[in-house]
Amino acid sequence: MIDLRSDTVTKPTAEMRQFMVKAEVGDDVFGEDPTVNQLQEMMAKLTGNQSALFVPSGTMSNQISINVHTQPGNEVIVEHNSHLYNYESGAPALLSGVQIMPLKGNRGCFTLEQVKQAVRPANVHHPQTALICIENTHNREGGTIFPLDEIKRISHFARENGIHIHLDGARLWNASIATGISIQEYCQYFDSASLCFSKGLGAPVGSIIVGSYEFIKRARYYRKVYGGGMRQAGILAAAAIYAVQNNLERLKEDHRRARNLGDFIATLPGIRIDQETLQTNIIVFDVRQSGQSGEQLINSLAKRGVKMLTFAGTKIRAVTNLHITDNDIEHTISALKDIFSEQ
């Protein structure tokens, strides 16, 4: 089965597993796991930050960051299709007691002008705007890249006005490979950032939070509060180290394959796809005008050995990853040709 549902479905390769087996371990809650410490030091350096913290998931990394940056009753600005707003189970309200202000962006990207309009004036009737969150790349909009120039503008405004800014960089690796802009260049405009190892890089578990010494000190407290303190976690940290050292440059292959598949999908009758969003490894298209639902197409593809994911009724997502080959893309194109020739 060709699994294009997500890049989270990747499994450790034999080489990664062997690297994990050899990992030296200790108790990470005591700060004594040497492999976790190595990963955290490596990621602090890679992102240009003072410190880093290894956590089990991307959702936890985002929610810890919100906790550190806000107080109950504050407001957080996000993009309305962002992962943080749609796929983290209402955690900002539940865990941090904050209110979300969603902005409708263009392909997942909002502007400084939108931010300025959304920031609350000093008034007892309003929640205080405490945090701006940017997702890069943007999952639900098809792996789109947030323009660096706009990040700079928003960051400058935020820092001038005492507002924190956090980067949900679960797939920042993809943005960096696609643009040639370094991870450090992206991260310098944020007070904190989270990056995920278990998507395109292929590690089985884990994300990293980066920031200042003081930020990470507080983040470590919230990790423990959430039940995210891990003991002999070096085995997992080793997978993340291997992933960063070996699977980063190959992301360009995922991007190439996604573009090839997306360009073909654009030729299918009744399919709507914004080809400008084909920037990294995610393809989102709408079957509304094709005469079938998303679920129908998903089922037809499954019968032909291809898995994709449907959401919003008629939208479908396909994500290339390290297990997908050129032959898999050819098979998927053939399957789609068969389905649409039968209509």
pLDDT digits (tens, 9 = 90+) for 115-158: 999 999 989 999 999 999 999 999 999 999 999 999 999 999 99
User: What's the pLDDT tens digit per position in 263-276?
Assistant: 999 999 999 999 99
Range of the domain at 265: 250-341
Q: What percent of the chain has pLDDT over 90?
A: 97
- Region 64-88: mean pLDDT is 97
Are 34 and 130 in the same domain?
yes
Query: Where would I find the H helices in the chain?
Result: 14-21, 34-47, 58-69, 83-86, 91, 112-118, 148-160, 172-179, 183-187, 213-225, 234-246, 251-265, 294-303, 326-341
> Which amino acid type is present at position 279?
Q
In a domain, 3, yes or no: no
Q: How many domains does the chain have?
A: 2
- Region 29-56: mean pLDDT is 98
Are 207 and 134 in the same domain?
yes
Residue 272: give its domain's CATH number.
3.90.1150.10
pLDDT value, residue 311: 87
Are 35 and 159 in the same domain?
yes
Are 291 and 148 in the same domain?
no
Phi-psi sector, 136: left (phi>0), alpha (psi -120 to 50), beta: beta
Can you say whether the dihedral through the CA atoms of 305, 311, 312, 315 is positive or negative?
negative
Contact at 8 Å (CB) between 10 and 281? no
Are 260 and 337 in the same domain?
yes
Tokens of 224: 């423990």
| Phi, psi of 78, deg, nearest 5 | -140, 170
- Region 235-248: mean pLDDT is 98
In a domain, 240, yes or no: yes
